[in-house]
Amino acid sequence: MQRRNLVVAIDGPSGSGKSTVARGTAVALGLRYLDTGAMYRSVTWLALERGVGLADGAALTALAEAAELSITPDPAAPRIAIDGTDVTDQVRTRKVTAAVSAVSAVPGVRLVMVARQRDLIGAGGIVVEGRDIGTTVAPDAPVKVYLTADPATRARRRASQDGQGAEAVAGTEAELIRRDQADSSRAASPLTQAPDAVVVDTSSLSADEVIAVIVGQVAEVVS
Ligand code: DC
């Protein structure tokens, strides 16, 4: 296996440290980076913008099919645009975060997104983060990692990522648990661990320590 064909799949719930670790791994290895959560978030942003009902699966699927996504897979400065609007920052708003589970649970939306993700992965040379990368999007990825962390740690990370103070942590924890529940129990591609994924509990590890574990996994498969 050559590094230029490598696919590193990083899955896990929100607040497990996925984004920091996936970007850092891509930088460390000189690979491209794909944040599949940002793809679901951008479709969600467009649905809110256009007033498409979050319970209207057919309309959401049609929206996803017609939308033109443009992704810059640079781990140092990833960007995403939908139908010509750069939404890199807008997709992180609370409004989008609150609505994205509903949109990402629609089977038709997932079919469209998974096909685009496979196109973007192409011949490889990429670190891909999400919820179903090792199970559905790239089940043949030679390196699969599933990150976990205890709920309190995840809530703390998420609140600080969103620029909120300590008083927001309890609310964030409740919201995280609710979203995990929705992501894990949906019928289409739920958040699950691939049986062959290496599980890393990041609760008491720094991002650099987790990256070192993944780089070690990569060294075992790359010649
Ligand atoms: O990782 P994130 O918080 O940006 O993900 C946003 C939402 O998209 C989250 O509710 C789970 C969903 N998602 C998914 O269903 N499948 C993926 N591959 C990535 C994200």
pLDDT at residue 22, as a whole number:
98
Answer whether residue 220 shows pLDDT above 80: yes
pLDDT at residue 15, as a whole number:
84
pLDDT at residue 203, as a whole number:
94
Q: How far is the CA of 102 from the centre of ligand 1 (A)?
A: 10
> Which superfamily does 3-221 belong to?
P-loop containing nucleotide triphosphate hydrolases (3.40.50.300)
Q: How far is CA 147 from the centre of its chain?
A: 12
Nearest atom in ligand 1 to the alpha carbon of residue 117 is 18
pLDDT at residue 82, as a whole number:
98
> What backbone torsions phi and psi does residue 82 show, to the nearest 5 degrees?
-130, 130
Task: Convert the pLDDT of each residue in 116-159 to its tens digit.
Answer: 999 999 999 999 999 999 999 999 999 999 999 998 899 888 78
Say how many CA atoms lie within 13 Å of 146 toward its Cβ: 14
Residue 71's nearest CA partner among 82, 63, 62 is 82
Q: How far is the CA of 173 from the centre of ligand 1 (A)?
A: 17
Q: 161: which residues sit within 8 A by CB, 6+ positions away? A: none
pLDDT at residue 204, as a whole number:
95
Residue range 161-170: mean pLDDT, rounded? 76
Task: Convert the pLDDT of each residue in 62-109 to its tens digit.
Answer: 999 999 999 999 999 999 999 999 999 999 999 999 999 999 999 999
Q: How far is the CA of 5 from the centre of ligand 1 (A)?
A: 25
Q: Which residues pair with 7 in a beta bridge?
A: 126
Answer whether residue 221 shows pLDDT above 80: yes
Q: Which residues line ligand 1 (CB under 6 A)?
A: 14, 36-37, 40-41, 100-101, 104, 130-132, 179, 183
Closest residue to atom 1 of ligand 1, CA basis: 37
Q: Given ligand 1 and candidates 104, 185, 191, which is best to mutate, with the most ligand atoms within 8 Å of its CB?
A: 104
Q: How far is CA 173 from the centre of its chain?
A: 19
CA distances (Å), origin 5, targets 2, 117, 125: 6, 15, 5
Answer whether residue 189 shows pLDDT above 80: no
**Region label for 122, one of left (φ > 0), alpha (ψ between -120 and 50) or beta (otherwise):** left
Percent of the chain at pLDDT > 70 equals: 100
Q: Which residues pair with 10 in a beta bridge?
A: 129, 145
How far apart CA 191 and CA 38 sit, in angstroms, is 16
Closest residue to atom 5 of ligand 1, CA basis: 37
Percent of the chain at pLDDT > 90 equals: 77
Which tokens in the block code for residue 94?
Answer: 């609370």
pLDDT at residue 209, as a whole number:
98
> What backbone torsions phi and psi does residue 13 show, to the nearest 5 degrees?
-75, 170
Answer whether residue 186 shows pLDDT above 90: no
Stated pTM of the model:
0.93
Q: How far is the CA of 97 from the centre of ligand 1 (A)?
A: 9
Give residue 216's pLDDT band: very low, low, confident or very high (50, 70, 90): very high
CA distances (Å), origin 187, targets 34, 183, 184: 24, 9, 9
